[in-house]
Structure 1
Amino acid sequence: MGLRNNVRMFGSGESAILFAHGYGCDQTMWRHVAPAFEHMHRVILFDHVGAGGSDLAAWNPAKYQSLHGYAEDVVEIGSSLGLRDAIFVGHSVSAMIGILAAKMAPGMFTKLVLVGPSPRYINDGEYFGGFEATEIDRLMALSEEDFRDWSIQVASLAIGNPERSELVEELAASFCRADPAIARHFAHVTFSSDNRRDLEAVPAKVLILQCSNDAIAPEVVGRYVQARIAGSDFVRLRATGHCPNLSAPEETISAIRAWLDSERAVNA
């Protein structure tokens, strides 16, 4: 698992906190956030198969045809490290991966921090996910025609801060470092996923971090997640866009730390 997912660990403390990156990214997207927790936690970073320094030979389209394949990897990482009562911090698509992993291995992750979660990106009847199916079809078609142009468009949409061109360039470059075939496959799996039923009976305490003006996972989606995960907490960040770990790391750190402190106080 260590080589397959390029697992890295640092820090100290009895509890472990695992950070999972979103689509098109790798563990470096947590570089401004994760170190803030190393004095009280064992910090674990990894790359989903197909991203960053992961073993590309381990990628299998059959296994990763749904988010469950990625969740199985998270559980295997946790098992190999002997994780119990750990904290899972998942950005974007990894928010749902974290929920699936918590259900696969109850007790492994008892606190979930979901950053910009969306159980379904496509509108469905009264459910508003943010995109029409035709919009996703056009996006996927563009990824086949011009992967670089597609990367720039999606990165711009995700960052949501037009004045932060350096962040758009960084995210687009991250997309382009990935194998295009694997990246397109993961994009299709991500945008076509429907994990609404998985929000029921989540065996963990949950914090939802919602950005302002998030075009990928709008606030109505975050509120939907909150309403369906019993006892979950919701924090609306001042940060705009979909990637507060890049655009507003200090606010992201403060929100996570405050919630963890409150949970410790409740359980003291």
Structure 2
Amino acid sequence: MTVHMCGVLHRVIAGAAFALSTTLLSGCGTVQPSSDVTQDVRLEEVWKSLEKKGYTRNADLSSKIRPAVIIQTTSRGADNRPVPETTPIVFLGGADCFPDAKTDESAVPDIAAGGTNSKVLVLEAQLIKNVLPSLKVDASMVDTFSLVLTDMKTVLIPRAELMNMADTCNKILDQTLKRGDQLAWFKIVNEVVAAEGITLDVTWTAKGGANIAYQKKLAEIVAGPTATFAPSLISERRASLKTDKRIVLGYKTRTVEEIKN
């Protein structure tokens, strides 16, 4: 499967993974698929599909939203009136409130029309910055690159695992309610759709292919100080780097009222 990006031919990984693609050419804000691409799915379509299944979109793709975490969706403004949060605040950690809770994992649900998960997901450059905020590529070193989500799955925590909240968390919630917050402003994340890893594929320029120091610097940003790019068998200028960084696309919640002691 190929995707033409602003005049640059870019081959992305197909199959069970989702490819999040951008290009380094200035002014490129859209990705136009070639005529042979019939299953191109944009992130907005995926989010809408998840929302139809009861998920809330995780707009910044952060892994901070995870099962058993208690999030705050509304806060008190300066005049004590409720103000919805643009993105939820992690109020209490799952390991603190439900230290013994077990999660279940399963195959990711169909998240777009067609009944298959073998689709290419096109992500705008700004959202790639959300996934890897420190990623600042040098156009003189890198010709094109793609970020690929791997090992997509649903991770959930059964309701029974949430029935015994730690006393410490109960006390913190009680104190918050006494200050004027409302219990309905707090939710427990009980299910997420996530990718358990990412792969960064790059095509080096002639300069980048010879600059090992730059390659190591880029690898460290993505996956840590010991990470290295693996050369591709297709071309000496192509390479990939895999890491187990979690990305969360959407989540479901339960009310705190259901489980608070």
TM-score w.r.t. the length of structure 1 is 0.25
Whichever structure has more strand as a proportion of its residues is: 2
Whichever structure has more helix as a proportion of its residues is: 1
Q: Tell me which structure has the larger Cα radius of gyration.
A: 2
TM-score w.r.t. the length of structure 2 is 0.25
